[in-house]
Chains A and B, each alone.
Chain A
């Protein structure tokens, strides 16, 4: 199914990405309107993270393009904020939480001009928004996984963007971080921002997001979740592994196994 979107904030056209001669994404075509909270959902290896990286120009594309606000990314980088996976960096790095959040201001300020007092104020404000005000000067190695994820969110906020692309912000976080993140995403959406979130957990996806992009190398469907979350489309996305997954999590719940992804 494809819905025609007028004035999409994010438009992906004919996008194909190959990884060692094999397609990681095949002919992806969709648009996202302004002010929605979108979950990109699909099985492991479906190319969810690759999709975001391709939109951010971080992996080479074989064909197609992605436009933000009707322009190429280079024209509008200031308005697009990217949250990488937490595991993509070394958290033993000698930096404080505030140091990392201030990186969100580098794009506006340039690398060579001094950061202003306003930059510092915005950064502290963003740390407060994610509930880490008291941890500003804490070294990032001493933060919990969930707190580290929130530092990444605060950095994205500090960029004061209009479109947010987040790679697995809910992966392996504690309940407090999950709640904070959800509230934050809701607030951003209510301010008219557009948020695209790669999400690995099918169970919570329906509850968290307004829109869903179902992905499994090819685009299976996208649109408001009521239209997309149908048994047929989910079956098409996950194939046989959907029932398997459901069985495994059911088993885990029964036996009280500590299963986390």
Chain B
């Protein structure tokens, strides 16, 4: 049975890592890596609420309800920033900590509930995945995560050019009549859903590592987007494999070990990758002279 347990753990970890790695690649390119952090915290009250209503974490309404809270939090962050005039990072910090606090209150007042406790919320329970009820022949979480990965792959496949264009040059995209808001919230929606379904496996804190880590590794290995996505997925799979081995060796938390391996992979990519440390010395020096404006001229708005 141990062998089959290991298989489910590695597979589930890989499903989390690949889905969040692909989405994280676009977040990183949009300079929005931390929005994943915000969403992963903001979905907590949604999860608690949905859990109260449905009594379990695996129903479709639970997932969609919690993801909707995540999506709402990004809308709230935008609104506070745009209309409220609050700086972007401040509005993010305000919204997600507030929602997370609501979630923490919910979780702790449900104290002692076997399916939803603080340990599980923060660190995940990947190690026990093999004991879950089966759905379509796999542990329920694994099946859900597989469905999520297929959804992510499908949307990225169909919407690749839309995300590519709006990520690189939102101004031009808007000029040719493409709704940048649609693509923004489509990506945010996918991140929300992925965060919710990954929650149980790896916990609220480590899902951020899976959103940023594989993407950052890919960034150090290539300067082509299709390869960046590929490397993000590959490094995610390796982190899952290596993390399981490390956790088994040290008898430690599996998700934590996977994140540690991800960090180690990043270090290797940083030291030896073609776009890592070695290129920093070869980069063109920026003198800053290009940006000088004539003395006495007013500053552009």
Contact = CB atoms under 8 A, between A and B. Distances in A.
B221 to A, nearest CB: 11
Contacts of A96: 224
Interface in A147-161: 155, 159
Given A44-B298, A57-B174, A111-B159, A95 B293 contact: no
B154 to A, nearest CB: 13
Interface stretch (A3-11, A182-190, A244-252): A244-252
B93 interface: no
A39 interface: no
Contact of B161 (A90, A111, A249, A261): A111
Given A94-B224, A159-B176, A258 B289 contact: yes
Contacts of B175: 56-58, 77, 80, 82, 84
B136 interface: no
Contacts of B295: 244, 248
Contacts of B178: 106, 111
A74 interface: yes
Given A94-B224, A94-B228, A84 B172 contact: yes
B132 interface: no
Contacts of B298: 43-45
Interface residues of B, number: 37
A220 interface: no
Interface in A21-69: 24, 43-45, 49-50, 53, 56-58
B169 interface: yes
B299 A103 contact: no
A89 interface: yes
Nearest to B162: A111
7 contacts: A44-B299, A84-B171, A93-B168, A95-B168, A99-B164, A106-B165, A261-B293
Ranked nearest first, the 10 interchain pairs of A and B with the lowest CB-CB distance are A107-B176, A82-B175, A45-B298, A94-B225, A111-B162, A77-B177, A139-B223, A84-B171, A44-B297, A56-B175
Given A111-B162, A259-B294, 16 more contacts: A50-B301, A74-B177, A80-B175, A82-B176, A84-B172, A84-B175, A89-B171, A94-B29, A111-B161, A155-B172, A159-B176, A172-B290, A244-B296, A245-B294, A245-B297, A261-B293
